[in-house]
Amino acid sequence: MSGQSIERAFARCRDEGRAALITYLAAGDPNLETTVALAGAVADGGADILELGIPFSDPLADGPIIQAAYTRALENGASVRGVLDILPPIVEMTGLPVVLMTAYNPVLAYGVEMFCQDAAGAGASGLLVPDLLPEDSASLRETAHQAGLDTIFLAAPDITEERLSEAATHSTGFLYLISRRGVTGIHNGPGESLELEVARASQYTDTPIAVGFGVSTTQEAGRVAAEADGVIVGSALVRTAADILSSSRNSAKQDMAKEAIDSAAESVRHLTSELMEGIRAAGSGDRTKPIR
């Protein structure tokens, strides 16, 4: 099963005169059934790309919301294999490109070549490993690209020019530009230097630049969309679902659990739709200038 094209998703958004909306979900929180439902919800809300986090025990770049989601998922038995098993129905249902995000250790434990082959076979389109530096990633990049997977790297606001060049050069699909220092979460919106950071990164690549960390409202999504090619939202969606699902976790009644999943999915769909409204209202940033 071949994954959907990230490149085509961005091209479609450019044709529509707007930035892409990339939505993040923590796979397995609180179970894989819920993840499938939430994936359908973000697609219904207008998301263009789905980033799916494979839970791991030490997510250094993530704040308390996603850390708690991973803890719940791991306690309920989430695994790399389990996440890969739900990919085919998610891709078939949503039609979205799926980027898998995980630490390098789970990939190594699974086997790099086997992981890339199985991920691509299940329908994944890209891979993001936040604790793997671009300059140390040659083996993974080659294996991923042979399997048909894009590789996406992070660039922080205080990254050196050399590191930024490495991250931009080796990112296919898109470059993930972190909007502010710190970890993921619902902060006070993107950093004040957003425009300058996007312009700086644009000097090194014509690959789409997507901005994440701290984006949680319609207004913040619109601000990012006015500068970048993509808007990444994660913690706000994870928290929205978790707030609703937490009230039913101890319920023994299956119908109540199903009702909670449906309610969480509807809330996530609504938030996704609101974020898309902000993106459409902003149009898209001007990154059409010549590069280099």
The length of the chain, given as a count of residues: 292
Give percent of the chain above pLDDT 70: 86
Cα separation of 257 and 44, whole Å?
A: 21
pLDDT value for 93: 97
**pLDDT tens for residues 63-79?**
688 889 999 999 999 99
What are the residue ranges spanned by the domains of the chain?
Answer: 6-282
Known catalytic membership, residue 118 = no
pLDDT value for 41: 98
Among candidate residues 7, 29, 33, 51, the one labeled active-site is 51
Helix intervals (H) in the chain: 6-15, 32-45, 64-75, 80-94, 104-110, 112-122, 138-147, 161-170, 194-202, 218-225, 235-245, 254-282
Among candidate residues 29, 48, 62, 166, the one labeled active-site is 62
Known catalytic membership, residue 227 = no
Q: What single-letter DSSP state applies at residue 143?
A: H
Query: CATH code for 6-282?
Result: 3.20.20.70
**Phi-psi region for residue 77, left (φ > 0), alpha (ψ -120 to 50) or beta?**
left
Are the C-beta atoms of 86 and 36 separated by less than 8 Å? yes
Which residues of the chain are modeled with pLDDT < 50? 182-185, 252-254, 287-292
φ and ψ at residue 94, rounded to 5 degrees: -95, -30
